[in-house]
Amino acid sequence: MSSELAGRRQHGDYAYIVIGALGLAVCVTVLFLATRTLMAAGAGFVASGGPYEIAHPAPDWIWLVPVSILSGVAFVGIHWRGAGRLGGFNLLTPMWVLLFFTIGANFLEFGIRGIRSGGVAWLVCGIVFWGLAAMPLFAPIVPAMKGSWMSFSASSSGRTYIIANVVAAVVGVGAGWALFTLLS
């Protein structure tokens, strides 16, 4: 393969990781803000009518919750493609941790502060979600990954890879915040 073609392929692979990291950050931010807003309002019932009166119906933007979860998984797949070609880490484990950690943080904060009288139930949910977030720390694959992570991050291409992921994630958080503000 010519060096010009290899260079173009590498740029394309970096595009995959930037799009994947940015998209995942947008999705996790939107999910975090959506669950937080729903909890603060005491909303969350989507049904209406029948024998039960819904005092706090879900807002019109409730569709953001499932869309952000499914889109986040798709962005992890996009990132995975570039990561595999560049020999870098993928975002599957960080996605799992971020997803459960952020929602658990909302439950814990609202449980501790007693917001909307969720109390002990929200604390229990927060602990369960943080337990789910911690699961990858106990996976047998983590010790095996440490050697490759350290050697990868020490190389110049490893530093570029990490910087591209971090910058994309930071921009994604800002974009997610703006998107949620716009749509809610």
Q: DSSP labels for 53-98?
A: --SSBPPGGGGHHHHHHHHHHHHHHHHHHHHHHHT---SHHHHHHH
Q: Is-contact 27 98, C-beta < 8 A?
A: no
Angle 88-90-93 from CA coordinates, rounded to 5°: 140
Q: Is-contact 125 104, C-beta < 8 A?
A: yes
Q: What is the pLDDT of residue 144?
A: 47
Question: What letter represents residue 157's amino acid?
Answer: S
Entry pTM: 0.79
Q: What is the pLDDT of residue 47?
A: 56
Q: What is the pLDDT of residue 138?
A: 73
Kindly tell me the sign of the dihedral angle through the C-alpha atoms of 129, 134, 136, 138: negative
Q: Which two three-digit tokens encode residue 155?
A: 């190389």
Q: Which two three-digit tokens encode residue 79?
A: 């990132």
Question: Within 13 A of 150's CA, how many CA atoms are on the CB side?
Answer: 6
First CA to last CA across the chain, in angstroms? 49
Q: What is the mean pLDDT of each run of 10 residues along the chain (184 residues)?
A: 57 90 95 88 62 71 92 93 85 85 90 74 91 80 48 62 90 95 92
DSSP 94-157: HHHHHHHHHHHHHHHHHHHHTGGG-HHHHHHHHHHHHHHHHGGGGSTHHHHHHHHHHHHHHSHH
The candidate with the shortest Cα–Cα distance to 110, out of 101, 97, 123, 99, is 123
Q: What is the pLDDT of residue 141?
A: 53
